[in-house]
């Protein structure tokens, strides 16, 4: 057994900046996302360079910004621009949630770095945070964080759902550096969208026609990204 000493912690920063005594539900995807992001950014907290707020605010409570409904945003001043992180837990339980694409808004506003990440692929997430911090100018990162209580699945399946979303092309992982697209994780044989929808309790009442429509729009959106590469 000693031959297989892989030691994943060796590839990670050791210090913990988030985690002791938070009051999130068990199996919270948001907590995993914040913990991984803080592991990368966290060294600079204690030097006093940046102030990292816990939560700026949940947008769309009064219906001001409908695109960012049900997400929480973090903003960091890194000197030469702002770095915005959007933790998306999809607080609105419609099938329309899947159709919206927040990162495309950031691409339209000429951000220097735009990326999407999921908790199911943690090392991909860590790489993207590093690249966003190094880029000069404004950068944006959109992270999918499954929420067991709201979405309706067992708390131990959080990471499985995060992985399923990528494997079924519902949530493709890509990055845009100065207008150039690149798909970071390519899936040779994508899974069916039905598997992803039926696993969650919030879509149990969805009709078959609606599921078909969603799977068609997912395929369309994925092709749009593939054409831009």
Partner 1 sequence: MARAKKTKKKVVKDKQIGCSLLWDGRAKPFLPGAKREMKPVLDKDKCVKCGLCYLFCPDASIRRVEDGYFEVDLDLCKGCGICNRECWFGSIRMVKEV
Which positions lie near partner 1, rule CB under 8 A?
A: 1, 4-9, 12, 16-24, 26-29, 31-32, 34-35, 38, 45, 52, 54-55, 122, 154-160
Instruction: Kindly state the smallest distance separating residue 168's Cβ from partner 1, in Å.
Output: 19
* Identity of the residue, 78 or 135, whose beta carbon is nearer to partner 1 in the bound complex: 78
Is residue 95 exposed (0-12), middle (13-18) or buried (19+ Cβ within 10 Å)?
middle
Instruction: Kindly state the smallest distance separating residue 81's Cβ from partner 1, in Å.
Output: 22
* Identity of the residue, 40 or 114, whose beta carbon is nearer to partner 1 in the bound complex: 40
* Identity of the residue, 29 or 172, whose beta carbon is nearer to partner 1 in the bound complex: 29
Laid out side by side, the sheet with 71-77 consists of: 71-77, 82-88, 139-144, 113-118, 174-177, 180-183
Beta strand 174-177 with 113-118: parallel, antiparallel or unpaired?
Answer: antiparallel
Q: How many CB atoms lie within 10 A of CB 66?
A: 10
Instruction: Kindly state the smallest distance separating residue 42's Cβ from partner 1, in Å.
Output: 9
181: phi then psi, degrees, rounded to nearest 5: -85, 150
Instruction: Kindly state the smallest distance separating residue 211's Cβ from partner 1, in Å.
Output: 26
For 76, the token pair is 């960091």
For 39, the token pair is 């592991």
* Identity of the residue, 10 or 209, whose beta carbon is nearer to partner 1 in the bound complex: 10
Determine contact, residues 144/118, Cβ cutoff 8 Å.
Answer: yes
Instruction: Kindly state the smallest distance separating residue 162's Cβ from partner 1, in Å.
Output: 10
* Identity of the residue, 16 or 43, whose beta carbon is nearer to partner 1 in the bound complex: 16
């Amino acid at each position: 057994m000693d031959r297989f000493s892989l030691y994943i912690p060796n590839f990670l920063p050791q210090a913990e900046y988030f985690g002791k005594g938070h009051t999130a539900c068990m199996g919270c995807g948001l907590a995993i996302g914040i913990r991984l992001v803080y592991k990368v950014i966290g060294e600079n907290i204690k030097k006093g360079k940046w102030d990292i707020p816990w939560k700026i605010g949940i947008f769309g409570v009064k219906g001001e910004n409908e695109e960012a409904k049900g997400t929480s945003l973090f903003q960091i001043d890194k000197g030469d621009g702002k770095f915005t992180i959007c933790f998306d837990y999809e607080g609105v339980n419609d099938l329309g949630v899947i159709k919206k694409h927040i990162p495309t808004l950031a691409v339209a506003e000429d951000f220097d770095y735009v990326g999407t990440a999921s908790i199911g692929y943690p090392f991909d997430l860590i790489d993207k945070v590093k690249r966003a911090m190094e880029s000069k100018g404004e950068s944006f990162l959109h992270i999918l964080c499954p929420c067991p209580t709201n979405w309706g699945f067992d708390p131990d399946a959080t990471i499985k759902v995060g992985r399923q979303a990528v494997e079924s092309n519902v949530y493709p992982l890509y990055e845009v550096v100065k207008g150039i697209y690149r798909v970071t994780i390519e899936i040779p044989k994508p899974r069916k969208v039905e598997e992803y929808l039926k696993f969650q309790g919030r879509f149990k009442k969805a009709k078959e026609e609606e599921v078909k429509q969603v799977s068609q729009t997912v395929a369309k959106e994925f092709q749009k990204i593939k054409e831009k590469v």
